[in-house]
Amino acid sequence: MIQKRKDKKAAMRFFKKLLKGLKGAPVKVVLDKLRSYTAAQRNLIPNVKHSAVQYENNRCQLSHQPTRQHERQMRKFKSQGQA
């Protein structure tokens, strides 16, 4: 979700949209170190643990690695006949 502003009000809207799709409350929220996210999280979901550790979200980013590797292999083929 992209937002024009990065203030507390925009972060509150972001969290409301994000939490609307969930059936239960999250156990842990991993975000970047933007202070407006922390302020909005304290107001909306105060009992949920908030983590802003630098490499905490690497598991999400690394899950795309097999897809990227497959795309890299497919770049070698120039035509359907080669494939």
* Domains of the chain, residue spans: 8-74
Beta partners for 29? 50
Give the CA distances from residue 38 to residues 27, 34, 35, 79, in Å, rounded to whole numbers and listed in that order. 15, 7, 5, 50
Number of helices (H) and strands (E), helices first, in the chain? Answer: 4, 2
**pLDDT 10s digits, 22-67:** 888 888 888 877 888 888 888 988 888 888 877 776 665 555 566 6
pLDDT at 63: 56
pLDDT at 67: 65
pLDDT at 62: 59
Instruction: Please measure the distance between the N-terminal and C-terminal CA atoms of the chain and give it in whole angstroms.
Output: 37
CA distance 47 to 41: 9
User: Hey, is 83 helix, strand or coil?
Assistant: coil
On the CB side of 33, CA atoms within 13 Å amount to 4
pLDDT at 45: 87
pLDDT at 25: 82
Q: Which of these ranges, 4-8, 34-38, 68-72, has the smallest mean pLDDT? A: 68-72
pLDDT at 6: 80
